[in-house]
Structure 1
Amino acid sequence: MPIDVAQALAAEPRSAGIAWGHKDVQLYHLGLGAGANPDKDSPATDPDELRYTLESRLHVLPSFATVAGSGSPGVINSLSMPGIDVNLAHVLHGGQTITLHRPIPVEGRATATGRIAAVYDKGKAAILVMRTDVADDEGPLWTSDAQIFVRGEGGFGGDRGPSTRPEPPTGDPDRTVERVIREDQALLYRLSGDWNPLHADPEFAKLAGFDRPILHGLCTYGITLKAVVDTALGGDVGRVRSYATRFAGVVFPGETLRIRMWQGDGTVRVTVGAADRDDAPVLADTVVAHN
């Protein structure tokens, strides 16, 4: 069997040193569209964007955790861990959760320790939960869980995993914002470390079943968190405690994201759709927990 569950769960965690600086943070933010005024009717740069782009005022958006140190040890490396032998063509990034233990510094050196935290049997597919704990000399920084969907690897009689999903938000959203995805957005975002040609090479995209390259799911993930921070949390990245989502669909460069937010007690519930395609779901089950 390509996935040996017992071996995968018992495997020794893998650790690697990671480092980042203000240029890495700025490049990541630019890859999310920072620096542009989200008001499409105004050509002026929003001064509030300087917290993402100017080194003397820089704050780190928590979703930077997905690319810090180019994501080392990373999802691809985790798929080569003992007990895991899968076809990468059958692998999809199904969901992502980040839990912040304290704000991410602008400059940092840390150790990232990755392991397989769970393997779930969904019948026709398996779900691997890749957990990465990151800590520096002062202690834990963040924990990242990537839910990896592997087609054709289920049916081994294992635990199906959590079966409950959050109830969809009801009523009118408290806020609705739109974010335009530039045609070159994926080309810029990939410079933060995700070199998958699916997001840049039209011929490769066609082989994967798309008529053109698609935007990185984690780019949409970052764009959405930035929209929540900017509009619901007063621009304060330090208020974010955790951020979870399920990837529900693709985005093409040039499209517009419609981001709806429902403010609760310590949470913002979010849905994201492709406005150009009748709000086709892009992110679902999305929750930002905050102080």
Structure 2
Amino acid sequence: MPIDAVKALAAGPRTGEISWTAKDVLLYHLGIGAGTPATDPAELRYTLESRLHVLPSFATVAGAGAPGVTSALSLPGVEVDLAKVLHGGQSLTLHRPLPVEGTATLTDRITAVYDKGRAAVLVMRTEAADTDGPLWTADARIHVRGEGGWGGDRGPSARREAPAGEPDRTVELPVREDQALLYRLSGDWNPLHADPGFAERAGFERPVLHGLCTYGMTLKTVVDTLLGGDVTRVRACAARFAGVVYPGETLRIRMWRGDGETRVAVSAAERDDAPVLADTTVGHS
């Protein structure tokens, strides 16, 4: 089996240093669709360096995508075909607001390997800290098709009951045709998001949008719609990637606001509301 669960779990943590600048933050914000309309003061918080606020989901690409899916594939005990790999889910906990520019130490390791029968699921935890202390903790769930079935632990279910009642807010958000091409410049170079031939080999009709791009677009929508544009109010964000998004489609983002937590469901409007993000929560003050 290309995934050696014992070896992966026994491996010590991998540590490295990352740095980012305001330019990296601006590029990420543009990659998740910020800047429309370009002169809107609410958008300039994301696109103009003199008033820049950092959307917390930037943590998923800080240091040129270091915490990404492809990073987990270079860890001990993991040797798989990239075409079989899908990002299944992402959680992020913020310990304090992210600075516009910074240097941090990243520590990542595989914390779980689950046997889902037809697939294996790796959970990679990434922790970031700078000289002032912890910045964020992130868990990525990575599905590897065809690598299950060895009799291992199936692990917990990531599914939650759907929110009750009508959503408090619904936003329809267009995805640009070139959005994946722009987003990948923040560090996720997986050809699934740009190369039609590779996408076909992976079982898709054409390149798909990065799940973490949809994740960032969704968090920005919640911040702008329900949190008054204040990124510092975000405490956590978690989502299960339930389906793909094709560039050029429209995201339908439904939000149910609760006390300290907003539940979110995201679907592809043109494909009969096919689920895209499920079990999605944004924790906030």
Which secondary structure state, in structure 1, belongs to the residue aligned with residue 173 of structure 2? strand
CA RMSD of aligned residues (A): 1.4
Whether the aligned pair in 1 keeps the contact of 2:65 and 2:186 (CA below 8 Å) is no
Find 1:217's aligned residue among 205, 211, 214: 211
1:3–1:62 Cα change, 3 Å:
same
Q: Relative to structure 2, which stretch is displaced further, 87-96 or 102-111? A: 87-96
Structure 1 residue 88: deviation in Å? 2.1
Which secondary structure state, in structure 1, belongs to the residue aligned with residue 254 of structure 2? strand
Whether the aligned pair in 2 keeps the contact of 1:121 and 1:158 (CA below 8 Å) is yes
Q: Which residue of 1 aligns with 2:52?
A: 58
1:87-112 deviations in whole A, cap 9, x for unaligned?
22221110001110111100000011
Letter in 1 for 2:35: G
Find 1:128's aligned residue among 106, 113, 122: 122
Structure 1 residue 74: deviation in Å? 3.8
Q: Which residue of 1 aligns with 2:235?
A: 241
1:221-263 deviations in whole A, cap 9, x for unaligned?
1000000000011111111111000111111111111000000
The alignment's TM-score, normalised by the length of structure 2, stands at: 0.96
Q: What aligned pairs does 1:260-279 form with structure 2 within 5 A after superposition?
A: 260-279=254-273
Which secondary structure state, in structure 1, belongs to the residue aligned with residue 232 of structure 2? helix
Structure 1 residue 172: deviation in Å? 0.4
Q: Relative to structure 2, which stretch is displaced further, 24-33 or 208-217? A: 208-217
1:137-165 deviations in whole A, cap 9, x for unaligned?
11110011100111222222222111362
1:177–1:206 Cα change, 3 Å:
same
Whether the aligned pair in 2 keeps the contact of 1:15 and 1:114 (CA below 8 Å) is yes
Q: Which residue of 2 aligns with 1:195?
A: 189
1:87–1:208 Cα change, 3 Å:
closer
1:103-124 deviations in whole A, cap 9, x for unaligned?
1100000011110011112122
Whether the aligned pair in 1 keeps the contact of 2:192 and 2:199 (CA below 8 Å) is yes
Q: Relative to structure 2, which stretch is displaced further, 243-252 or 162-171? A: 162-171
Letter in 1 for 2:186: S
Which secondary structure state, in structure 1, belongs to the residue aligned with residue 214 of structure 2? helix
Structure 1 residue 195: deviation in Å? 1.5
1:181–1:74 Cα change, 3 Å:
closer
Distance in 2 separating the partners of 1:170 and 1:232: 18
Distance in 2 separating the partners of 1:163 and 1:50: 40
Letter in 2 for 1:152: G
Structure 1 residue 67: deviation in Å? 0.5
Q: Which residue of 2 aligns with 1:25?
A: 25
Q: Which residue of 2 aligns with 1:160?
A: 154
The alignment's TM-score, normalised by the length of structure 1, stands at: 0.94
Q: Which residue of 2 aligns with 1:41?
A: none
Letter in 2 for 1:114: D
Q: Relative to structure 2, which stretch is displaced further, 259-268 or 210-219? A: 210-219
Distance in 2 separating the partners of 1:166 and 1:15: 33
Which secondary structure state, in structure 1, belongs to the residue aligned with residue 46 of structure 2? helix
Distance in 2 separating the partners of 1:62 and 1:277: 29
Q: Which residue of 2 aligns with 1:7?
A: 7
**Identical columns (%):** 75
1:108–1:214 Cα change, 3 Å:
same
Unaligned runs of 5+ in 1: 38-43
Whether the aligned pair in 2 keeps the contact of 1:16 and 1:73 (CA below 8 Å) is no
Q: Which residue of 2 aligns with 1:70?
A: 64
In the alignment, structure 1 residue 34 sits paired with structure 2 residue 34: yes
1:151-195 deviations in whole A, cap 9, x for unaligned?
222222222111362110111000000111111111111111112
Whether the aligned pair in 1 keeps the contact of 2:158 and 2:279 (CA below 8 Å) is no
Letter in 1 for 2:272: D
Q: Which residue of 1 aligns with 2:78?
A: 84
Distance in 2 separating the partners of 1:155 and 1:254: 37
Structure 1 residue 73: deviation in Å? 5.3
Q: Which residue of 1 aligns with 2:167?
A: 173
Unaligned runs of 5+ in 2: none
Whether the aligned pair in 1 keeps the contact of 2:60 and 2:67 (CA below 8 Å) is no
Whether the aligned pair in 2 keeps the contact of 1:199 and 1:216 (CA below 8 Å) is yes
